[in-house]
Amino acid sequence: MCLAIPGRIDSVDGDDPLFRQARVAFGGVTRVISLACTPEAGPGDYVLVHAGIAIATLDEAAAERTLAALREIPAHDPPAPEGP
């Protein structure tokens, strides 16, 4: 199963569409991601990010709905492995 997370683009670097990168905010965390698949994306836009690549743009309402749904998932700490 794959999971893509919405984030907001803070800034964009580069002019070549294949190598453009963006600083994207995910809550309190910022990551640099590739915009190769979303050449239309720019600062202030929301993008859906999977494995460090923006795979789609989405509007703010859709991003907020997705983030709200993700917040409803309870945190789960897997049990520690048993061993010698």
Q: Domain-by-domain residue ranges, the chain?
A: 5-71
Query: For residue 10, what are its two tokens?
Result: 């803070």
Measured on CA atoms in the order 8, 25, 1, 52, is the torsion positive or negative? positive
Least confident of 23-27, 43-47, 71-75, 77-81: 77-81
Per-residue pLDDT at 83 exceeds 90 = no
What's the pLDDT at 42? 97
What's the pLDDT at 2? 80
Least confident of 15-19, 38-42, 47-51: 15-19
Does the domain spanning 5-71 belong to CATH 2.30.30.140? yes
